[in-house]
Amino acid sequence: MSRWIWTSMALFALAAAAGAAEPEPGRTDGPPGSEYGKGGYPYHRTPGQFYVEGFLGAAKVDVEPENAPGSDNSETDLIAGFNAGYLVEDWLGLQFGYGHIMDQQTDLFSGGVRSAYNMEPINYYFSLDAELYSPDQGETKFGIVPGAGIDVVLNNHLRAGLRFQHDFIFADDNISINRFMARVQFKF
């Protein structure tokens, strides 16, 4: 009888040792952090990632001159441009950009922060930029630009989405810009 017990215990120990071997690819067993790239978090990225994005959309520029209150000059044009950024963390990025409003010949130079909330495959984010509003005619002015957007993750490096931004331009005239844009982002 004791021979059967010892034989059963030896077989049990051998089976346990075989089951404790290195996990197969695609498994997330192991020490903390070993699950990245093996199944559990397919879109996880390490901090310190660069990205570029192009955008195209519509910009509605409202100008109410200081010396003529009540006379509102509003014009909607195409806007195109790009942003380049650096993800400090998975959720926080710094970005710089350039945009051009076509028929009004206005350049927009911006720099700011972006806070992303990753809920793959659909993500959303908020941004806050400082901006130089530089029309071909007239003075360059400073503005603050809050924004919000939504993305669809296409793969590890490519996202497509929509963004809305409202520009508060600090000037004697009351100037505001509403921008609605489609964008494509590439991360490397």
Query: Which domain range does residue 60 map to?
Result: 49-187
CATH of the domain at 132: 2.40.160.20
Residues 119 and 28 in one domain: no
CB 105 within 8 A of CB 126: no
Give the pLDDT confidence of 57-94 residue by residue, as tens digits.
999 998 887 776 666 688 899 999 999 999 888 788 99
Angle at 161 between CA 60 and CA 97, to 5 degrees: 60
C-alpha distances in angstroms, 40 versus 29, 58, 145, 187?
A: 10, 39, 37, 21
Give yes or no for residue 174 having a pLDDT over 90.
no
**Long-range pairs, 152-157, Cβ under 8 A, ≥24:** 152/121, 152/122, 152/123, 153/43, 153/120, 153/121, 153/122, 153/123, 156/42, 156/43, 156/45, 156/187, 157/186, 157/187, 157/188
Residues 125 and 153 in one domain: yes
Residues 118 and 86 in one domain: yes
Residues 106 and 163 in one domain: yes
Residue 187 burial (C-beta neighbours within 10 Å; 0-12, 13-18, 19+): middle
The arithmetic mean of pLDDT across residues 117-140, rounded, is 90
Residues 74 and 21 in one domain: no
Give yes or no for residue 182 having a pLDDT over 70.
yes
Give the pLDDT confidence of 4-51 residue by residue, as tens digits.
666 766 666 665 555 555 555 555 566 666 555 555 455 555 567 899
Residues 31 and 55 in one domain: no
Q: How many domains does the chain have?
A: 2
Run of H or E including 107: strand 106-117
Residue located via tokens 């964008």: 183
The arithmetic mean of pLDDT across residues 107-117, rounded, is 93
Residues 119 and 164 in one domain: yes
Give yes or no for residue 128 having a pLDDT over 90.
yes
Give yes or no for residue 156 having a pLDDT over 80.
yes
State the pTM of this model: 0.71
The predicted pLDDT at position 59 comes to 95
The predicted pLDDT at position 134 comes to 92
